[in-house]
Every structure is written in C-alpha cells, then in structure tokens.
Amino acid sequence: MGVGLLFGFLLAAVARTLNHHASWKVEDCSKFASDTGGTGVTILDAAYIPQNASITIPTCRLVGRVPYGEKGNNSVIFELWLPSVEKYNGRFLVVGNGGMAGTIPTQVITLNLNQGYAVAGGNAGHLASENNGGSGAPGVYLPYMHDDEQVRAWIHNSIAYLTPPARQIATAFYRKAPKYSYYEGCSTGGAQGFALAQFHPGLFDGIVAKGPGNWYSHLALSFLYNAQVTQGSAFLPQTALDLITQAVLAKCDTIDGVEDGVLENPLLCDFDVASLECGSPGTTGNSSECLTPNQVSAARRIYSGPADARSGASLYPGFSVGSETEWMVQEGVLVEAFSIPILQNMLFDNLSYDAAQFDWGADVDALDARIGARIDAVSPDLSQLAAAGGKMIVLQGWADPLNAATWPIEHLRQLEASSGGDVGAWFRLFMIPGGGHCGAASHYPQVPAVWHALDAVARWVETGHAPTEILATDPADEGRAGKTSKLCPWPRTARFRGGNVNDWNSFVCEG
C-alpha cells in the first residue's frame, strides 16, 4: 500500500468520525425529531422538505408545542425550519406575529429560511379559533382575551416561551449552537420586539421591530377616536382622502430636493387642510375637489390624535401628512377588529358594550391599569437591553395607515430622556418615506418596500458596525423593479446629491 493510499484511508476514517458529530441531515428530519427529548417540547410533526420553487434550501421542518403558565393547559405552538447545514448561515432567527396572532407566520419564516437562517415562529400562545380567525368583531366573544395567561403570552411572553427550546433543538440538529440569535417582527410583531427588549433583554443579540404597535392599548384608542371623529357628515370618502394627499404632495414633495411623489420628512410640510375647504381660493365647490367644514375638522382631528378629556394630554399621536389615502381603515375597519373587541372582552366584559359611551377620562385610566399593563411594552428605560449587549433597530413607515408614524419618534425621545442622551450605540430608529404598514403603502408603489434591517442588525452585532443607513429594495410597482432607496437613522433624512434618483447611492443621510 502506497503512502498516498494510506493517507487517503486515514482521511476517510477521520471524515467518518467527524461526520458522526456533524449536523443531522435534513432528509433524516423525522428520525431527528425523536431525538429532541429534554427540551420540554412535544414534537407534533417533522418533515423533510426538498428544495422547491418557494423553499430554495432543503429543509427539516418541525412543529412543536411548548407548554406555559401555571394551569398547565396553555401552550405555544411553533414551527422551526432548519436549512441543510451546507446552506445554514449559523444564525438563529425568531419571527413575530401580526394582529391578534393565533397562527404561525410561515410566509415570513420561509423568506428568511431562504437566506440561510434557522427560523422559528409561533402562534403567540393561543389558537386562531380563540380570536375569531385572527380578527375580532363587535359582539363576538374572543376566548383568549378572557384567559390572563394567554393575554400576557400574546405580546409580552410567547416569543420568550418558544425561543430557548427552539434554539436548543437547532443546536441539537447542527450539533453546534447558533453563533447569533435575532428577532424580527412587524405590527404586533413589532410590539413583541419591544416586549423582548423590555421583559426578556438577554434573549437576542439583535432585535428588529417594524411598525411597532407596542403601545397597543392606546393604538386601539386611536382607532376608536378616528372612527368616532369621522361619523356621519364628517366621513372622509376615498375621493376626499386622495384629494388631501394630492394637495400635500403638490405643496411639499420637492422640499427634499427631488420631485418623486414622496415626502422625505412630513414634519417639514406646513400644510393646512383648511386650504381645501369648499369656497377657499382654488377650490371649485365640486365635492370631489373640496371638503366640507366637518370633513376639514375630521381630518384635523386625525392629524392630532386622541386626547384625555380631563387634561387635554395626548393619548396617542396623530397621523402625518401624506398618509391620508389609506385612512379609510381608520374610519371603521380597525375599530371593529381591535378596539371594540378589546373593550367588550377585556375592559367591560360586556359584549353589548357600546363604544360610543367610552369615557375619554376615567375609562382611559381603567384601560391602562387593566389592559395596558398586560399588553403594552412602552418602558422608556430599555437600558437592560443595552447592558446585555443587545442591538435594536426600529422601522416606521411615514404613510403607515395603522400606526401613527410619530409614535416611534416620541418613544425614541423617551428612551433618550431616560438614558440621559443619545441611545444610538444600541438603538436606532429608521423612518421610511412613503412606507406603509409592514410594506408598501398603496399611494406610494414607487417606494422600495423591502427593508434590509435584519442584515443591518446582524452586521451591527457581528462586526460592531452601527447602521448609518439601511437599503430598501423591491418597490410594489414592478415597472420600477430596480429602484433602491436609502433609509436614515432618525433624525437624519436622505438628501439627493445628484445622479440617478432610483439609486440609493445618489442620496446621503443628513441632519
């Protein structure tokens, strides 16, 4: 036997030994599932998923149940998708929920799986059958809202229940702990991100919270208020909403130096909706070209947001100019899906409760004490996250029709006040001009609507390079498929410096 051949045999033997300790194969997913004891998780399903058109990496998909609570009958159902070791990027990611949750966000799971992440996501600790299929309605009993453990799991705790065991299972699969752990969520998922920072600060290396509904109880109040102020003759039909946005853009689009149908910073736009009142100079008296006094007053109220009837103190910020075209959801859909169900099921325990009776004083106090305490995550002090070395990126669309865009700005100021100054070493807010709720806004299809914040937080965590800009790609308008844009850490905004307006490199963050 020649030396070369002997050496070859030795290598093969070493490889076999190493292989024994190497990752499980995705093809052996079911066999692996029987090897996950000791995690407290019951595996409900395990399947090998070969590469296909939408799942571009061969995957081991597990469905598990992790019990929580004192009564012993509550559980979070979650899925954990493990990409083949060859395509695995060494990072563990948990993704959050939307709305009232109750379902597993598999679409977001697969998007990130395709990037090489081992990804988990859960149902937030209750089933969709307990929340009317994901959306409440007036007079409908929502069982999860009557189970205190499920209420607290929904936003505050469910991610923390599933994360350690899911991470442990991922570690067993690759026979190696993930190098980093990240969380990303939008809307309710953004609120879950703030809850992680506030209540479970050591769990993740990096958190991305988008369009955060972290002041959930008052977000529900803003839905109620906006619905109440647009009743009857104050109703703003779609034509009126479109009219307002067009007038806003005509006045303020070019403040940022580029005429692109988008406001870079709506706070700089000095627009008075009274200029559209029928009879004002430039209006015609045609109802699709002007607003009645009641409509003007309704729009003003939506811009200012609800206030405490006793003190006049703001209860939630109002909406920004340029966001009007999607306000229709504020005039009915959201109050029925969220505010009325929360008041009827959780605050008044009366399915006949008439929300028109809501007392914008005493009832606010009751809401804060009994509901806010269980579902909000608004602490101005997130220093424990900073102390644990965590990094957090928040994104908020200026044209988000659900969440008033300036709420995350207000909360940023609270964090700064609490920590005595700049928090940019561990927390950064990126505002998205023309951005909608968790993606594109209907009036701004030209705006790149995929925000690469997870890449940015991973780079921050792994290299220490804090994000000074974030890339946005993939506008809803397919005719602008190659357009990119630059998101800036607030209060900086993007300024055009010449060149191709569809290229993010033509902009610099200034301010």
The residues binding ligand NAG (CB under 6 A) are 71, 73-74, 147, 286, 288-289, 350, 352-354, 357
Q: Is the Cβ of residue 231 or residue 350 nearer to ligand NAG in the bound state?
A: 350
Q: Which of 494, 467, 330 is nearest to 401 (CA)?
A: 330
Q: Which two tokens stand for residue 37?
A: 């004891």
Q: Is the Cβ of residue 75 or residue 84 nearer to ligand NAG in the bound state?
A: 75
Show contacts of 56-61: CB within 8 Å, 24+ apart: 56/114, 57/83, 57/84, 57/87, 57/113, 57/114, 57/116, 58/26, 58/27, 58/83, 58/84, 58/87, 59/26, 59/83, 59/84, 59/113, 60/24, 60/26, 60/28, 60/29, 60/32, 60/173, 61/29
Cα–Cα dist 236/290, whole Å = 11
| Least distance from ligand NAG to the Cβ atom of residue 10, Å | 58
| Least distance from ligand NAG to the Cβ atom of residue 154, Å | 13
Q: Which two tokens stand for residue 396?
A: 């908020």
| Least distance from ligand NAG to the Cβ atom of residue 477, Å | 24
| Least distance from ligand NAG to the Cβ atom of residue 77, Å | 12
Task: Note whether 116 and 92 are within 8 A (CB).
Answer: no
Q: How many CB atoms lie within 10 A of CB 263?
A: 28
Reported as type and span, the H/E element at residue 186 is strand 180-186
Q: Is the Cβ of residue 343 or residue 449 nearer to ligand NAG in the bound state?
A: 343
User: How many angstroms separate the most distant Cα atoms in the chain?
Assistant: 102
| Least distance from ligand NAG to the Cβ atom of residue 143, Å | 7
| Least distance from ligand NAG to the Cβ atom of residue 146, Å | 8
Q: Is the Cβ of residue 60 or residue 76 nearer to ligand NAG in the bound state?
A: 76
| Least distance from ligand NAG to the Cβ atom of residue 353, Å | 4
Cα–Cα dist 199/195, whole Å = 6
| Least distance from ligand NAG to the Cβ atom of residue 42, Å | 15
| Least distance from ligand NAG to the Cβ atom of residue 355, Å | 9
Cα–Cα dist 438/418, whole Å = 28
Q: Is the Cβ of residue 27 or residue 148 nearer to ligand NAG in the bound state?
A: 148
Task: Note whether 403 and 429 are within 8 A (CB).
Answer: no
Q: Is the Cβ of residue 192 or residue 344 nearer to ligand NAG in the bound state?
A: 344
The reply to whether omega before 317 is within 30° of 0 (cis) is no
Q: Which of 371, 463, 367, 407 is nearest to 145 (CA)?
A: 371
Q: Which of 287, 255, 291 is nearest to 273 (CA)?
A: 291
Q: Is the Cβ of residue 86 or residue 354 nearer to ligand NAG in the bound state?
A: 354
**Do strands 470-475 and 448-451 pair parallel, antiparallel, or not at all (unpaired)?**
antiparallel
Q: Is the Cβ of residue 34 or residue 286 nearer to ligand NAG in the bound state?
A: 286
Q: Which two tokens stand for residue 260?
A: 């692109």
Cα–Cα dist 171/167, whole Å = 6
| Least distance from ligand NAG to the Cβ atom of residue 284, Å | 7
Q: Which residue has the tokens 């690759």?
A: 174
Q: Which residues contact 109 (CB under 8 A, 6 or more apart)?
A: 79, 81, 95, 119, 120, 121
| Least distance from ligand NAG to the Cβ atom of residue 71, Å | 5
Q: Is the Cβ of residue 175 or residue 370 nearer to ligand NAG in the bound state?
A: 370
Q: Is the Cβ of residue 42 or residue 254 nearer to ligand NAG in the bound state?
A: 42
| Least distance from ligand NAG to the Cβ atom of residue 44, Å | 16
Q: Is the Cβ of residue 48 or residue 353 nearer to ligand NAG in the bound state?
A: 353
φ/ψ (deg, to 5) at 277: -70, 135
Give the amino acid at 302. Answer: I
Q: Which two tokens stand for residue 408?
A: 């995350």
Q: Is the Cβ of residue 144 or residue 398 nearer to ligand NAG in the bound state?
A: 144
Reported as type and span, the H/E element at residue 222 is helix 216-228
Q: Which residues contact 504 (CB under 8 A, 6 or more apart)?
A: 469, 471, 472, 484, 485, 486
Q: Is the Cβ of residue 353 or residue 360 nearer to ligand NAG in the bound state?
A: 353
| Least distance from ligand NAG to the Cβ atom of residue 396, Å | 33
Question: Exposed/middle/buried for 509, CB within 10 Å: 0-12, 13-18, 19+?
Answer: middle
Residue 261 DSSP class: S
